[in-house]
Amino acid sequence: MTRLTIRRPDDWHLHFRDGETMRAVVPHTARQFARAIVMPNLSPPVTTTAMAGAYRDRIRAAVPEGLEFTPLMTAYLTDHSDADDLAVGHADGVLTAAKLYPAGATTNSASGVTDVANIMGVLERMAAIGMPLCVHGEVVDAEIDIFDREAVFIDRVLAPLVARLPELKVIFEHITTSDAVAFVEGSGPNVAATITPQHLHINRNAILVGGIRPHMYCLPVAKREEHRLALRKAATSGSDSYFLGTDSAPHHRGAKESDCGCAGIFNAPFALESYLQVFDEENALDRFETFASLAGPRFYGFPVNAESVTLERGEVLVPGEVDGGGEPVVPFHAGETLGWRMVG
Ligand code: DOR
Ligand code: ZN
């Protein structure tokens, strides 16, 4: 197969940031995707319907003329989230979902939830109104090894939550382990997972072998090879339980190449090409549309996009850096040649 035409895909997990950076990165996503679930971990975080509505307006204003792109907004949950405000935002179509960051788990998560028990009333309300919960699935306890934080989160937090609120729609985001795949497999239709391109391409060696590679560092951190292989199998299985969520997370070059480099991989410029390479390597081109364009809308309860995109075999060289709004950002696959390119 040398050409592949699929329904236009969506990105079900994405960081745009705000201001100049946002204006620089939005076009990369809008070029490929019809919709994206936009993460709320700005500083300060997007915690209310009003803040999400204003942020949505700023994103819409950054979409280049001629491109159709719909940002789907999320509210950042805190110990003090207001269930009424979230319910109004969801009913009005401003908020698609709410996001659970365990406090301290990742970038701008300091105001996140310190204990899921503190938001049980909010989660019950979300279950009742059919508002999905996006979950960053890592515990933050200092005594838990960083490579075990996702697996421990499943046991301590996610499994009890799903058992308690089986009707709540839960997206286990950016999964990185075979443990997460097993959890999704053992759960009912209200639990699904997103998988990033980087977790399909790299294992933890990419961060640490031959020197420290800050541009390969994100959270949850890439794990051992056996986990990458489990993720590739899940993503390319054709199951509706797994769908595309890039977790593209731009940080300027200086913030990554630093004493304390930020977590996040900026994969937006060639996200579709990156994923497709994996499906090609796994002889699963026929399952790419399910992962990229069908399973996500089905889970979220949205229509599948009417338009289509076409990708063609052919070399595309990923630049060493792209503009991040006055300062450079290093994209995923910088300097590499990918084997597919978008042609329409
Ligand atoms: O690597 C990450 N970067 N993981 C996250 O959970 C957050 C993200 C960011 O916002 O930079
Ligand atoms: Zn993220």
pTM over 0.95: yes
Choosing from 107, 138, 266 the residue with most ligand 1 atoms within 8 A of its CB, the one to mutate for a pocket test is 107
| Nearest alpha carbon to residue 197 among 327, 292, 284, 133 | 292
Domain assignment present for 99: yes
Does a structural domain hold residue 324?
A: no
Q: Is residue 258 part of a domain?
A: yes
- Indicate if the pLDDT at residue 343 is higher than 90: yes
Residue 199 lies in a domain: yes
Mean pLDDT on 262-291: 98
69-119 confidence digits (pLDDT tens): 999 999 999 999 999 999 999 999 999 999 999 999 888 889 999 999 999
Residues 220-241 have a mean pLDDT of: 98
pLDDT at residue 183, rounded to an integer: 98
- The per-residue pLDDT for 257 is 98
Q: What pLDDT was estimated at residue 235?
A: 99
Write the CATH number for 58.
Answer: 3.20.20.140
Q: How far is CA 283 from CA 22, 194, 233, 258, in A?
A: 35, 20, 11, 39
Q: Is residue 332 part of a domain?
A: no
* Residue positions forming the annotated binding site for substrate: 15-17, 41, 136, 219, 251, 263
Mean pLDDT of the 177-196 span: 98
Q: Pick the ligand that lies closest to the CA of residue 136.
A: 1
Give the whole-angstrom CA distance, residue 106 versus residue 112.
Answer: 10
263 lines ligand 1 (CB under 6 A): yes
- Indicate the helix (H) or strand (E) that contains 135: strand 133-135
Question: What's the CA-to-centroid distance between 111 and ligand 1, angstroms?
Answer: 15
Q: What is the pLDDT of residue 312?
A: 97
Burial class (CB in 10 A: 0-12, 13-18, 19+), 143: exposed
Active-site residue (options: 247, 259, 280, 286): 247
- Examine residue 328 and state whether it is found in any structural domain, yes or no: no
Ligand 1 atom nearest to 250, measured from its CA: 11
264 lines ligand 1 (CB under 6 A): yes
Within a domain: 203? yes
Domain presence at residue 193: yes
Report the nearest atom of ligand 1 relative to the CA of 251. Answer: 11
Domain that holds residue 108: 8-304
- When divided into structural domains, the chain yields a total of 1
Q: What is the pLDDT of residue 107?
A: 83
Whole-number average pLDDT of the chain: 98
pLDDT of 105:
86
Which residue's C-alpha comes closest to atom 8 of ligand 1? 264
CB of 15 within 6 A of ligand 1: the answer is yes
Cα(131) to centroid(ligand 1), Å: 23
As a whole number of angstroms, the distance between CA 297 and CA 307 comes to 14
